[in-house]
Amino acid sequence: LGTHSSPLRESNGKRIGTLIVFHDITRLRRLETVRREFAANVSHEIKTPLTAIKGFVETLLGGAVDDPEAARRFLRIIEKHADRLTAIIEDLMKLSEIEQKGRNRGIGLKREAMAPVIRNAVEVCRVRADEKKIAVEVDCDEAVVAEINAHFLEQAVVNLVDNALKYSGTGKAVRVRSRLIKDSVEIRIEDEGIGIPGSHLPRLFERFYRVDKSRSRKEGGTGLGLAIVKHIVQAHGGKIDVESTPGKGSTFIIRLPTVGGVNGTDPPECGSA
Ligand code: ADP
């Protein structure tokens, strides 16, 4: 708690009391801590690949460059770390774009059909799905219309489908479904992958939080995917939930407010977005 006090006087200057103002600075302090931790995390995440790149470059300059086979191997490793840096920076830029737009005039929502957004997102994940021999099953209610930013929502679904593929074994099933349930649109991304222990669920959507750091790295994860999803869903006035059983699989559920539009009927202008 921060306090500030000043004397209270009558117009003739006679002191009649003291004005004490209490500021609740807990929230400010918490924000400050979050900001500081974030900066430390970013620095750490960027420093790791940079240190590796520098190390392998030094090894090459120290003589390894004369052994073509070793040189090629080291260059591949350098390339992998450079790709990692690019992925981190791209994800940081996406996060800050959504945050900034959310803070200013919003991300710009338009009434649009949901099914094409989901199909496009699944298509973006095709390469990884094929690599893992996973046929992503899509089951969308074609009539669902909602107030969305198609570009950002596609990004959120891409991140969730990509995770479902990353954290599932070869040949497992991934299902994406969208439905209108009462006055909200539900998008479910379901996998039969490794699952997430309950103790990790409360922090799962924090930036750079990972259950298994080495698995995330191996799969090319940045630890920012779910934070991006959360920000996008919140910018739509929606909610994101997860249900998971270790060893059995996970289901991520996006719930967005809708303006209706089922079976081609014109929805009421209720301004619910
Ligand atoms: P990452 O880039 O590491 O995948 P995310 O923010 O997308 O980062 O996810 C955070 C962590 O949550 C992941 O590192 C992983 O441990 C866990 N996770 C996310 N999605 C799934 C899933 N579908 N199945 C199992 N674990 C998951």
Q: Is the CB of 196 under 6 A from ligand 1?
A: yes
pLDDT tens across 24-60, in order? 888 888 888 888 989 999 999 999 999 999 999 999 9
- Please state the atom number of ligand 1 nearest to the C-alpha of residue 222: 2
255: pLDDT strictly greater than 70: yes
pLDDT tens across 192-239, in order? 999 999 999 999 999 999 999 998 988 889 999 999 999 999 999 999
- Please state the atom number of ligand 1 nearest to the C-alpha of residue 210: 14
- How far, in Å, are 91, 123, 182, 258 from residue 226 at the CA level? 11, 19, 26, 23
148: pLDDT strictly greater than 90: yes
* CA 113 / ligand 1 centre spacing (Å): 28
pLDDT of residue 25: 82
Q: Is the CB of 226 under 6 A from ligand 1?
A: yes
CA 189 to chain centre: 14
User: Does the pTM exceed 0.90?
Assistant: no
* CA 184 / ligand 1 centre spacing (Å): 25
Q: Is the CB of 49 under 6 A from ligand 1?
A: no
Q: Is the CB of 189 under 6 A from ligand 1?
A: no
- Here the ipTM equals 0.99
* CA 218 / ligand 1 centre spacing (Å): 12
Beta pairing partners, 185: 180, 256
Q: What are phi and psi of 12, to 5 degrees?
A: -85, 5
143 class by beta-carbon count within 10 Å (0-12 exposed, 13-18 middle, 19+ buried): middle
Q: Is the CB of 250 under 6 A from ligand 1?
A: yes
How far is it, in rounded angstroms, from Cα 155 to Cα 164?
Answer: 14
Contact predicate 251/244, CB 8 Å: yes
> What is the pairing mode between strands 249-257 and 184-191?
antiparallel
252 class by beta-carbon count within 10 Å (0-12 exposed, 13-18 middle, 19+ buried): buried
How far is it, in rounded angstroms, from Cα 216 to Cα 214?
Answer: 5
Q: Is the CB of 223 under 6 A from ligand 1?
A: yes
Helix axes 150-166, 115-124, angle to 10 degrees: 50
Q: Is the CB of 225 under 6 A from ligand 1?
A: yes
Q: Is the CB of 249 under 6 A from ligand 1?
A: no
Q: How confident is the model at residue 1 (pLDDT cuts 50, 70, 90)?
A: low
The residue ranking higher by pLDDT, 87 or 266, is 87
Nearest CA residue ID for atom 4, ligand 1? 221
pLDDT of residue 6: 87
